Amino acid sequence: NAGVTQTPKFQVLKTGQSMTLQCAQDMNHNSMYWYRQDPGMGLRLIYYSASEGTTDKGEVPNGYNVSRLNKREFSLRLESAAPSQTSVYFCASETFNYEQYFGPGTRLTVT
Amino acid sequence: GQSLEQPSEVTAVEGAIVQINCTYQTSGFYGLSWYQQHDGGAPTFLSYNALDGLEETGRFSSFLSRSDSYGYLLLQELQMKDSASYFCADANRDDKIIFGKGTRLHILP
């Protein structure tokens, strides 16, 4: 039982490049989330998915797209990376009573 | 809309008790959660309060007052390993969790 896994753990991109962050959970949870964390800003919600086949915008969706591929997997795509997207990205899945399990995070630097 | 307010930093002494407060403004509020995050790590779940009152889990307790839109996390018998950031988060009818900006807890020996 791996919980929530994220790949890659670290990534450096040049401005304008694209990439996809992968997330998978093996706990059979319906809800999954993508957050970014910047110093002093806490966790800000980018997108979430309440169930397979549905996605909704969070607080800071601009510059990102998501895909809920199946119940296990929820990916985050940066189509054209910008330095403002330098951050730590966390994926989480959630139980029916709002307990969230987080992946280890992806540390992304855009130069 | 949603917003949660918590102090940015709190300092306490090893062995003492500390309380971290959180006030919220959320429509369709369901409940309040607390998470702990050590430097370089991922947040981990501590507690969830859906009803008014105090929930106790070992050295940690969490309290909610819906009428006051207020909650707190109480840490007893502080240990150096409790040095971390603590986040309150609310659940609401839009099926999404919103986090506060976090409280950094410093523990002095």
Residues in A touching B31 (Cβ below 8 Å): 98
Residue of B95, B103, B104 to mutate for A, most A C-beta atoms under 10 A: B95
pLDDT in tens, B52-69: 999 998 999 999 999 999
Task: Tell if the CB–CB gap between B96 and A58 is shorter than 8 Å.
Answer: yes
Q: What is the mean pLDDT of residues A33-48?
A: 92
pLDDT in tens, A11-27: 999 999 999 999 999 99
**Residue whose tokens read 């093996």:** A26
Residue of A43, A57, A96 to mutate for B, most B C-beta atoms under 10 A: A43
pLDDT in tens, B25-40: 877 788 999 999 999 9
pLDDT in tens, B64-106: 999 999 999 999 999 999 999 999 999 876 767 889 999 999 9
A18/A78 Cα distance (integer angstroms):
5
Task: Tell if the CB–CB gap between A59 and B98 is shorter than 8 Å.
Answer: yes
pLDDT at residue B93, as a whole number = 65
pLDDT at residue A105, as a whole number = 97
pLDDT for residue B21 is more than 90: yes
Task: Tell if the CB–CB gap between A48 and B87 is shorter than 8 Å.
Answer: no
Number of H helices, E strands in chain A: 0, 11
Provide φ and ψ at B78, rounded to 5°: -55, 140
pLDDT for residue A1 is more than 80: no
